[in-house]
A and B are shown apart, each in its own frame.
Chain A
């Protein structure tokens, strides 16, 4: 009794409630995908053979892990942060040796008993801890470029390994740490440049290359004209504008085609193109051409199209629990993992989706609130990391299912089927809760 009180002391119950609600919604969604009218669902829930009953087992495991985390001392995380990070990187590197090929990416380590571990999921936690540790060091002055670059390396090292494992989607999530760094004093210019870069790539895909070049040139000339008085005084701005113009056109004319044709795989390029309603010609792709001589299939946005149909058919009020025809007909591939949002959208419609998004947003805001009330930099950085990671997952996943973004293969936090994903988010959240519970104790 005494001990129980000790654990629960200072723990933020709102987040635990939200965590529980989301996990329950997740199991229900997986149940909707797997459900067949003629099966006895009570029995199959207990049998452990269907995905929803497996998810239930994962949930049980998660509760144990959560309890264990709450039982530990929060000092442990600060102390072992770097060690964890190294361990995580080694684990990711180990996949090159031990890796098992699941859905085309060799990023899984078989654990036996049909369970597999995806180190890139777990590594997010370690990276968050490592980043927090690095930023909270007394000797770190984050206003210096050197520390900023170091922090960037800490964040992007797992991403690089992940790209090498053909898990480009997960790599994208590691960019979420830039939000954290922004909070900790990274110049907003980095974010703006990043955003502009994305905008440039998107417009390259959407607008015909020559037209875009003309538009960019026109914009540059307009800028020069607008700032002509300042330019007269100092030539610096002129050079800056010219450099920006030059890099933009360079990116648009050469870098983007180079990335799509030489860096990305054919299917990845095709997905990106199809998200913007374009067809990608795979014969241009050097990597695919090297790999196999045979002509690749025509790119197909089947997944996203079916997902949009499922969500769109939900309408305002939805079709009702277990009544979605698209879900029952298994039209959306990977619906229990990446496209789980489609079943939710079909069954509960716009209203359901909106409520669901509100729960997520509430969770995110709650975490930020928690972050801001931390007294130690470590805890705050970590809390922001958690919020950013969850936010990136949600944004990428939902934007993918509703056709706003190419499908990178990112799970929906706490909803998608999958042990690695569920366990890693549980750990993320409960480490945060542990840190938060001890916020009075730890000063640095």
Chain B
């Protein structure tokens, strides 16, 4: 029988071979032809950990660090490992209740799953850190993880430096090619934002092998494919921290702005927008709260008026009017106007002048020194009605072109985000306003000549204008960053626009001398005669811009020293009145500090006085007052609630919430009935429960 079926042994061998062949084909399919399994394996098992480099430091012109990195600690939790935790103890340390603890754990699981670490409490204070560090052994699943945060040793220049914050989804979408991930910090404003790429440095990536529960098993291929983190590069700026601090102090209790530029380089020495804020409030665990408060503040402390505030330049515009006419060859420095207290060259428009004596505008120098409105109205009309350009529209367009060349009505491209271009109106605006292209002429827009009408400029534009005059016809784009540590080609290209000289006018030095002399006369016997810089002659122009909403804005522009200028400055104090009163002293002290490195003893007392002068408009004061009293009222309500609580615990029926004697609720008596109902709302949850159950 065995012989009979011998061939079947062969068949069984064939069956075996066939099955093995099928297996081999499937193996070829899996291992040789499909690449998706390799990819899936990488996604499965390789965990990419980003190594954050230190962020670059920002230095001032004397290499003092305006901000530094310090290590802060986050309390990080891995929910799956928290079994056997002393929950009560950790809650007590953090000052939270168990419900909050559970909520945070739930959030962590929702955000990052149960087995991955997520932040439980960010940016611990030093005291809390010390307490927690001692007790960490009691809390399995919790670890303290390091994070680098910013501090600002000089407590200054918050608006310039900006702040860093956690990126949100919108940010991630916008910069999706830059490798940011949820939880990363990035510069959100100021220099931190503009130079984000430089400051950020280059992140390193470490690859780890992880297991099926996402636990790290060790480095992948012994770190063969890891990249090293490269620290962010430092920025060297032209800011002078002492001048900056002084300017902030002088602008206290005022709303306004000051910009000081080194005309030789375009480097910004100081830039203040008041009210300002201490940049340290936007770091640490109170960050969110402070940020919210400042965003809602009606005086807008986070709003940089130096690049965004738009003010009519007023008389400070006059030197520019002269320059345009000189460049066009319409006047010479000896050109004079007979002024008898006003400009009457136009029918229906009469521009009043402060001076009546004839001869106060006999030449350019005198006209500037006396700030003669008639003279500059006349010069402005000459520019607009220039025969070369045929008609008003073309003349105006040419004039506007000049304005843009001088940096007005356009952004200067300073290295801060969200700069405003202010306004030099286009002809279409006037066409619309006057009802047609032929229905307006130089007379209709006459006050443009003295820096009024629809014209506005930002403080930085005014300061830049001073740079052009100080440099006799050229400027560098104002900027903060002079150089970047270990500059690469890309960095140099980025800074290139700040290193290029822009030539604006082609006026002879002698003509400029007339302008300089006129502005110098302002400081000798003119409107700014009260302001002196010990040891230096300087040139200035005051301005008092009419403000339709309230008291006039006080403006002051200057550059110093007269020969060989090293600082050009523009100061605006909103509702400050005359330029010589509010703005001029501030500019004076800033220039003195910069040029002399110190302020005379007599000056110091004056600095104190100026810093205490309160020029905040009544409406804003009112707002602050209301907010404060609302806060007080809230405190009072809370106290009342606490008292009611005590009363409840004593088992006495509450009839009416009582107030502390010295604290009063908001203003009028109408609020009192509300007050009675409110205390229970202010109790926290479990107290409420107690109250509910306590009631029979």
Contact = CB atoms under 8 A, between A and B. Distances in A.
Interface stretch (A4-12, A97-105, A311-319): A311-319
Contact of A182 (B12, B44, B211): B12
B176 to A, nearest CB: 28
A391 interface: yes
B5 A184 contact: yes
A354 B27 contact: yes
Residue from B15, B19, B30, B36 with most neighbouring chain A CB atoms (10 Å): B30
Contacts of A331: 44-45, 211-212
Contacts of A349: 31
B550 to A, nearest CB: 70
A357 interface: yes
B40 A313 contact: yes
Interface majority SS (helix, strand, loop, mixed), chain B: helix
A142 interface: yes
Nearest to B15: A179
A330 B32 contact: no
Contacts of A372: 6, 9
Contacts of B31: 311-312, 314-316, 345, 349-350, 353
Interface in B7-44: 8-9, 11-13, 15-17, 19-20, 22-24, 26-28, 30-32, 34, 36-38, 40-42, 44
Interface in A173-193: 179, 182-185
Contact of A404 (B5, B23, B34, B45): B23
A368 B12 contact: yes
Interface string A345-386: 110011001100100110011001001100001001000100
B170 interface: no
B8 A329 contact: no
B1 interface: yes
A308 B41 CA distance: 10
A316 B29 CA distance: 11
A361 to B, nearest CB: 5
B23 A309 contact: no
B12 A350 contact: no
B75 interface: no
A312 B13 contact: no
Nearest to A376: B2
Nearest to A381: B2
Most A C-beta atoms less than 10 A away, residue of B12, B34, B41, B45: B41
A36 interface: yes
B551 interface: no
Nearest to B4: A185
A326 B5 contact: no
Interface residues of A, number: 52
Contacts of B20: 357, 360-361
A313 B217 contact: no
Given A36-B217, A185-B5, A350 B28 contact: yes
Contacts of A139: none
Contacts of B210: 329
Contact of A312 (B9, B30, B212, B221): B30
Interface string B205-219: 000011110000110
Interface in B570-629: none
Interface stretch (A109-117, A147-155, A162-170, A395-403): A395-403
A253 interface: no
A360 B22 CA distance: 15
B41 A361 contact: no
A377 B5 CA distance: 12
Contacts of B26: 399, 402-404
A350 B32 contact: yes
Nearest to B41: A313
Contacts of A36: 217-218
Nearest to A141: B1
B220 interface: yes
B16 A365 contact: yes
Contact of B19 (A323, A353, A365, A391): A391
Contacts of B22: 399, 404
B675 interface: no
A37 B37 contact: no
A208 interface: no
Interface in B643-671: none
Contacts of B2: 377, 380
B50 interface: no
B65 interface: no
A311 B28 CA distance: 10
A333 to B, nearest CB: 8
A326 B44 contact: yes
A182 to B, nearest CB: 6
Interface of A: 36-38, 142, 179, 182-185, 306, 308-316, 323, 325-326, 328-331, 345-346, 349-350, 353-354, 357, 360-361, 364-365, 368, 371-372, 377, 380, 384, 387-388, 391, 395, 398-399, 402-404
16 contacts: A37-B217, A38-B218, A142-B1, A183-B5, A183-B8, A306-B44, A312-B36, A314-B31, A328-B45, A328-B211, A328-B217, A331-B44, A350-B32, A354-B27, A360-B20, A399-B22
Given A179-B15, A313-B37, A354-B24, 9 more contacts: A182-B8, A325-B44, A326-B41, A331-B45, A345-B31, A360-B20, A365-B13, A380-B2, A404-B23
7 closest Cβ pairs, A-B complex: A312-B37, A313-B41, A325-B45, A329-B211, A350-B31, A312-B30, A329-B45
